[in-house]
Amino acid sequence: MSGAPHVRAATGDDVAAIAALEDENLGADAWSEGLVREGVTGGLPTVRYLVAEQAGVVVGHAAASIVADIAELQRIAVTPACRRTGLARALLTEVVRLATAEGADRLLLEVREDNAGARGFYAAAGFDEIARRRRYYRDGATAVVLGLPLGPTDGSAV
């Protein structure tokens, strides 16, 4: 695919595309279309849904919650055909920018211990391991808790 990635806030028109990305990329952990719709259109002030477009098509998404000093990255995924082109990095950069602007000083997330691709992505973005949660996922897999300190200069460093 060609064209510069474009990251923007999701709207109600993106719900089906985001739900499809959930199904495609997050397997048993995928959120249903109803849950995605609630997140995108529910008006919760702490929730941010972003999409990444390539050539006008939604090919990635991210969801974060920002509450006081802590931001949590709940979701990030890019369709397989568009990976390793910097789309997740662009989504994460926007999450960091929003979280920093709202006063958060850390971005936290959980990732499956066996998700080598995502762990490689987070390591490249500067996340450090904070803790492990055994049997965190439905299938018994361990979650690795990662954190990224946020500051005025961090948004451009991702």
> Least distance from C-beta 120 to ligand COA, angstroms?
2
Nearer to ligand COA, 41 or 74 (CB): 74
Q: Which residue has the tokens 């529910």?
A: 42
Sorted by sequence, the CB contacts under 8 Å of residue 95 that are 6+ apart come out as 48, 50, 62, 64, 71, 73, 76, 107
> Least distance from C-beta 47 to ligand COA, angstroms?
17
What does the binding site for ligand COA look like in residue numbers (CB under 6 A)?
25-26, 76-78, 83-89, 111, 115, 117-118, 120-121, 124
User: Residue 109 CB: number of other CB atoms within 10 A?
Assistant: 23
Nearer to ligand COA, 8 or 84 (CB): 84
> Least distance from C-beta 87 to ligand COA, angstroms?
4
Rounded to 10 deg, the angle between the 15-26 and 33-41 helix axes is: 130
**What is the separation, in whole angstroms, between the first and last Cα of the chain?**
23
Nearer to ligand COA, 17 or 77 (CB): 77
> Least distance from C-beta 61 to ligand COA, angstroms?
9
User: Quick check: 82 and 59 in contact, CB under 8 A?
Assistant: yes
Nearer to ligand COA, 67 or 116 (CB): 116
Backbone angles phi, psi at 69, to 5 degrees: -85, -5
Measured CA to CA, the distance from residue 62 to residue 119 in angstroms comes to: 16
> Least distance from C-beta 35 to ligand COA, angstroms?
16
Give me the residue whose beta carbon is nearest to ligand COA.
120
SS3 112: strand
Nearer to ligand COA, 34 or 117 (CB): 117
